Amino acid sequence: MSNRIILLGAPGSGKGTQARHLAAEWGVPQIATGDMLREAAAHGSPLGLEAKRYMDTGGLVPDGMVVGLVAERLARPDAKAGFVLDGFPRTVAQAEALDRILREPGLPLDRVVFLDVSRAELLRRLTGRRVCRQCGAAYHLVSAPPQTSDRCDACKGELYQREDDAPAAVARRLDVYEKQTAPLLAYYERGGLLAAVRGEGAMDDVTAGIRQAVRGTGAA
């Protein structure tokens, strides 16, 4: 059985962790846009080098270029038996482009899984991060707390909250994500591919819910 899966979820939903775990379990590649852009640039492909020019100047890589890189990555032999797309597509236009990419070799998607996490939990996860000013070590006040709330365990440097982890900044990121993703979820629901899985609770329980959804026996 093939596993051609998309994992969708807001920042902080845990989709990257679940994608890595399931890709390893199924023996298929995890394809995450950020990793893919960096890999393509390192390999020196024409699209990768073009994308690198945007990344080096802090610019946003154009939509068409990201789609081209996804097509390039999905054409590799290791993706023929399946893949886990992590956080792509982000828009209906990207989803339509992905459908075209997969239609030609006759490799349709099996399932699109949305990790459903409450906004309150996402805020808790994303605003709890603290970083050491001195050595850069990262902590989380709930899931990986330091021994002393404002000091690094390793070097005793001061811990601080980055600007993009502040509650107002996180709330803005979530607003953008929700606005962007609602039409995408509707698109896949109309296609009969969408399954929502509760993304809160123990990691193993979430993984089991994704497995169940992929088998088509219902969502958690």
Please say if 100 is a catalytic residue: no
Could you say which of 20, 38, 80, 90 is catalytic?
90
Please say if 130 is a catalytic residue: no
What is the Cα–Cα distance from 56 to 174, expressed in whole angstroms?
26
Could you say which of 4, 52, 111, 129 is catalytic?
129
Please say if 151 is a catalytic residue: no
Q: Are 180 and 94 in contact (CB under 8 A)?
A: no
Please say if 90 is a catalytic residue: yes
Q: Are 28 and 3 in contact (CB under 8 A)?
A: yes
Give the DSSP per-residue string, 91-156: SHHHHHHHHHHHHTTT----EEEEEE--HHHHHHHHHTEEEETTT--EEETTTB--SBTTB-TTT-
Could you say which of 4, 15, 52, 111 is catalytic?
15
Distance spanning both ends of the chain, measured CA to CA: 21
Please say if 156 is a catalytic residue: no
Could you say which of 20, 38, 119, 173 is catalytic?
173
Could you say which of 76, 133, 162, 215 is catalytic?
162
- Sorted by sequence, the CB contacts under 8 Å of residue 167 that are 6+ apart come out as 123, 127
Active site residues: 15, 90, 129, 162, 173
